[in-house]
Amino acid sequence: MKLDWVFLRLVGLYAIVVAFLILYPISTVVDAEALRSIVAGGLLSLFHLLFGYITVESGFDKKSTTFLKIVLGGMVVRLFLMAGIVFVMLKSFQFDPLSLMLSLLFYYVMNLVLEIYLLQRKVSVNHQL
């Protein structure tokens, strides 16, 4: 599997920018427990994005049916894995549910945009060859 360093740098830059533009101002308003939940939601969503990146990269050069099986199967695995992790986080580690779920939703939408960008870019590069 060949790594797409441009995309990975974009993800790293995005994570840093979001940390400075969103987490710092929020940290002045919310308590420590809510901030811990917001950071955990962001990290979980980042894990979700990177796992999605791995599934896209591993299946992209394969036949279209195989690619769809890998990507859609990866989505199902990611969904259940993330739901299990959220359950453990809420029950075992007492994260703030509202802060965790709202931050997870926000980061998930942002990361979904990055994942769609990755797929669009890979398809456009593939059609140019």
Provide the residue range defining the domain that includes 77: 5-124
| In a domain? residue 89 | yes
| In a domain? residue 129 | no
| Rounded Cα–Cα distance for residues 111 and 113 (Å) | 5
Beta strands in 5-47 (DSSP E): none
Number of structural domains in the chain: 1
| In a domain? residue 52 | yes
pTM to 2 decimals?
0.89
| Rounded Cα–Cα distance for residues 85 and 30 (Å) | 23
At 62, list the tokens: 């394969």
| In a domain? residue 27 | yes
> 66-124 pLDDT, tens per residue?
999 999 999 999 999 999 999 999 999 999 999 999 999 999 999 999 999 998 988 88
